[in-house]
Amino acid sequence: MFPTVPGDFADANGKTRMTTTDSILPPPVGPAPKMRRRRSLAHTKWPVVILFMPPALLIFTVLVILPMGEAAWYSFFHWNGYGEPSKWVDFRNYKLIFKNSAFTKALINNGLIIITSILIQLPLALWLATMVTRKIKGALFFRLIFFLPYVLADVAAGMIWRFVYDGDFGLVAGIFHFFGAQPPFLLANADTAMPAILAVIVWKYFGFHMMLFIAGLQAIDKSILEAADIDGATGWQKFRLVTLPMLGSTVRLSVFFAVIGSLQLFDMIMPLTGGGPANSTQTMVTFLYNFGVTRMQVGFGSAVGVILFIICVTLAFSYKRIFMKND
């Protein structure tokens, strides 16, 4: 038997949509075939859904929804973490947070980290990525060297740099002593502590972004660059008009990681400065820890957590919607 219409053999999904018996019937009216398809889809998918959905749903509920809900609930209490929360204080914790100058400072610092990432770290990473993807001697070695800081644990990196910055015995002190100058205590000064930390952040994470860019660069079709060569494009023109636009999705992803990384920054700050001096290096998470956890202000800390969550979700979703919708 032959199908009446060749296209009836299979639909876009490759599934046989019409059997040969169907073909001798009058053309279908209304949604009949659609319903059939849904039913067959349901037939094949339900067991999968039943089997695979609960673990994921359970994990998501236990690890994300429940803690979030609990934190939201606790944020309305004055509670030290012992026993059950009982002192309901309405929105007092939230009011206190927005009155707290250290929180404002933390917000500004998180912004600073994002800006530094975008303006310094990503260009640096991109520049180095273009260097080490060239077929030159030692490129692979340098890739490894540049990636090394990222492999290091955040806490270890923080402690190493605390020694480096130490004004008595550190590397910085050594350099200053060599030139006969009085060494500065970068981490002990409210004006220099944050820039010093930003430098460490750039050092720590540029390798990660560089790797992303290397992957992106390798995915670019060489023939396009060759075509540009034939058209007489200069190196800069090739980079600006060919490479960069084709790296678009990688750049957007990189910025996304930088933003999320900034909001989560904690492990490295604690050994470096612990948020001081005078709260000048507080980030949202160190603020949460210093003002919520160590002070046994679980209600207050939960409120910070809720605010952090809202900021994270808003940023992540709007960024994905606006900048990454085609990626």
Partner 1 sequence: MSITAKWLRYSASAAGFAVLTAAANTASAETVIKWLHLENQEPVVEVWRQVADEFEQANPGVKIEMQFLENQAFKAKLPTLLQSSEVPSLFYTWGGGVLKAQSETGVLRDISPALDANNNEWLDTLKPSSIAGMTFDDKVWAAPVLNGVVSFFYNKELFDQAGVDGTSIDTWSDFMGAVKTLKEAGITPIAGGGGDKWPIHFYWGYLAMREAGHDGFMAAKAGENGGFAGEPFVNAGEKLAELGALEPFQNGYLGATWNDALATFGDGRAAMILSFESTGRTQASNSTDGKGLAEDNIGRFAFPVIEGAPGLVTDNMGGLTGWAVTKDAPPETEKFLEYYTSPDVARRISAVQKVIPVTIGVADSITDPLLKSSAEALAKETWHQNYLDQDLGPNVGAVVNDMSAAIVSGSTSPEDAAQQIQDTFELENM
Nearest-angstrom CA–CA distance, 152 and 145:
12
Read off φ and ψ for residue 77, nearest 5 degrees: -115, 155
Applying CB under 8 A, which of residues 248, 277, 319, 323 lies at the interface with partner 1?
Answer: 277
Minimum CB distance to partner 1 smaller for 108 or for 215: 108
CB count, 10 Å around CB of 15? Answer: 11
DSSP 27: P
Is residue 313 a contact residue for partner 1 (CB under 8 A)? yes
> 214-233 in b/e burial notation, b at 16+ Cβ within 10 A?
bebbeebeeeebeebeeeeb
Candidates 8-16, 45-53, 106-114, 271-279 — which segment interacts with partner 1 by CB under 8 A? Answer: 271-279
Q: Which of 18, 12, 15 is nearest to 1 (CA)?
A: 18
Q: Which is nearer to partner 1, 3 or 184 (CB)?
A: 184
For residues 90 to 129, the per-residue mask of contacts with partner 1, x marking binding by CB under 8 A and - elsewhere, is: ------x---------------------------------
Residue 46: count other Cβ atoms within 10 Å of its Cβ. 10
| Binding of partner 1 by 282 (CB under 8 A) | no
- Pairwise CA distance, residues 219 & 234, whole Å: 21
Minimum Å gap between C-beta 321 and partner 1 is 18
Say if residues 268 and 88 touch (Cβ distance below 8 Å).
no
Position 156 contacts partner 1 (CB under 8 A)? no
31 preceded by a cis bond (ω within 30 of 0): no
When the beta carbons of 117 and 297 are compared against partner 1, the nearer one is 297
Question: Under 8 Å CB-to-CB from 299, ≥6 apart: which residues?
Answer: 74, 75, 76, 77, 78, 79, 85, 89, 93
Number of C-beta neighbours around residue 68 at 10 A:
15
Report the residue number, 32 or 66, with the smaller CB distance to partner 1: 66
Complex with partner 1: residue 234 or 294, whichever CB lies closer: 294
- Considering only residues 161 through 220, tell me which ones interact with partner 1, judged by CB under 8 A: 167-168, 185, 187-190, 193
Considering the rule CB under 8 A, would residue 62 count as an interface residue with partner 1? yes
At residue 88, the 3 state secondary structure works out as strand
Residue 312 found at the interface with partner 1 (CB under 8 A): yes
Nearest to partner 1 of 106, 308 (CB atom): 308
Site stretch for partner 1 (CB under 8 A), options 17-25, 31-39, 58-66, 111-119: 58-66
- Given candidates 31, 54, 81, 235, which one binds partner 1 under the rule CB under 8 A? 81
Closer to partner 1 by Cβ: residue 201 or 308 = 308
CB nearer partner 1, residue 17 or residue 162: 162
Q: Say which DSSP state 17 is in.
A: -
> If binding is defined by CB under 8 A, does position 3 make contact with partner 1?
no
Under DSSP, is residue 171 helix (H, G, I), strand (E, B) or coil? helix
Residues that bind partner 1 in the complex, under the rule CB under 8 A: 62-64, 66-68, 70-71, 78, 80-83, 96, 167-168, 185, 187-190, 193, 264, 273-274, 276-279, 285, 288-289, 291, 293-298, 305, 308-309, 312-313
